[in-house]
Amino acid sequence: MNCQECHDYIDAYIDNELDVAATIQVKQHLRACVECQQLLEARKAVQALLGNPQVSFEAPDSLLGKIQSVLPVARSDVKQRSRSRFVIPFPRFSVPLALAATIAIMLGLVYLTQRGMFDRSRGTALAQEVISSHVRSLLATHLLDVPSTDQHTVKPWFDGKLKFAPPVHDFAEHGFRLTGGRLDYFDGREVAALVYQRRLHLINLFIWPSASGHNTAAESFTKDGYNVSHWDRDGFSFWAVSDVNAEDLRAFADLAMQQS
């Protein structure tokens, strides 16, 4: 590879967009050419300056409301919706009816559990809950209870708030900066949520004690446009969810698995 070709490829090289063969060629050329090394340094310097999250503009708080008001189909907002669920009129016979329904559902669950079907549908429901929780954390102001980039601040914060001590690690040097943690609640239990930042994107990592205690390989999938990765390790269940691309989330899952 000559200098001109190296110039043509240098941007794709730093963006990890080259195939393996071309990457090796660029690397070989860089080892031998001081000028191209300087170009690489210059590109990285620009990238580092633009990598500061403050360079991006954040939407004003009022924008969400404006958007919701211009969208057609008047729909009550999330809060009102969940409230309306509780004002279903209760006729007098509803208690025995509810009791009967509960028993029927319980019998059904016992049947499903025995058939081994429950776990699978529970996995899907859990994935949905994990994604909903991720979306909620982005929309509401409840993203962080303890905003800190220091794992030694975040970890003790969970002490006394949870019955377990989640593993907390920062992966800033790999491009996944710990920005804090919060308590979340789903699947009938309290869970730890660690929030990481990848460029402008947030990753929620949910952690709670696993039921089985076995270690499992990471299982990754995409649902509703979100990438989700899930694994069990050292007695904990881990669920990572984000809108970063699948590759980045896998890299994140690998890092988290190595650490725990």
CA distances in angstroms from 119 to 32, 162, 224, listed in the order given: 57, 25, 21
Structure tokens at 50: 């633009």
Q: Which two tokens stand for residue 48?
A: 């580092």
Query: What is the Cα–Cα distance from 245 to 188, expressed in whole angstroms?
Result: 29
Distance CA 23, CA 92 (A): 73
- Token code pair at residue 2: 């000559």
Is 54 near another protein (CB under 8 A)? yes
The residue (of 72 and 160) whose beta carbon lies closer to another protein is 72
Q: Is 71 in the site for another protein (CB under 8 A)?
A: yes
Q: Does 142 bind another protein (CB under 8 A)?
A: no
**CA 140, 143, 145: angle at the middle one, nearest 5?**
125
Q: Interface mask (CB under 8 A) for another protein, residues 144-183, using x and -?
A: ----------------------------------------
Shortest distance in whole angstroms from residue 157 CB to another protein:
26
User: What is the rounded CA–CA span in Å between residue 46 and residue 14?
Assistant: 12
The nearest distance, CB 73 to another protein, in angstroms, is 5
For residue 135, state whether it binds another protein (rule: CB under 8 A): yes
Q: Compute the least distance from the CB of residue 54 to another protein, in Å.
A: 5
Q: How far is the CB of 43 from another protein (least distance, A)?
A: 6
Shortest Cβ distance from residue 3 to another protein (Å)? Answer: 12
Judged by CB under 8 A, the residue of 15, 150, 219, 234 near another protein is 15
User: From the CB of 50, what's the least distance to another protein, in Å?
Assistant: 4
CA neighbor of 40 nearest in space, from 12, 72, 74? 12
Q: Which of 3, 67, 100, 172 binds another protein (CB under 8 A)?
A: 67
User: Which two three-digit tokens encode residue 260?
Assistant: 């725990």
Helix and strand counts by DSSP (H, E) for the chain: 9, 7
CA distance 37 to 235: 46
Q: What is the DSSP string of 209-226?
A: E-SS------EEEEETTE
Residue listed under structure tokens 């967009």: 17
- Looking at residues 99 to 128 of the shown chain, list those that interact with another protein (rule: CB under 8 A): none
Cα(30)–Cα(247) distance, rounded to whole angstroms?
Answer: 26
Amino acid identity, residue 199?
R
Q: From residue 190 to residue 209, what is the string marking binding to another protein with x (rule CB under 8 A)?
A: --------xxxx--------
232-251 positions binding another protein, by CB under 8 A? 243-245
- 20/55 with CB nearer another protein: 55
Decide if residue 88 touches another protein (CB under 8 A): no
Q: Residues interacting with another protein, by CB under 8 A?
A: 7-8, 10-12, 15, 17, 38-39, 41-43, 45-52, 54-60, 63-64, 66-68, 70-73, 75, 132, 135, 138-139, 198-201, 222, 224-225, 243-245
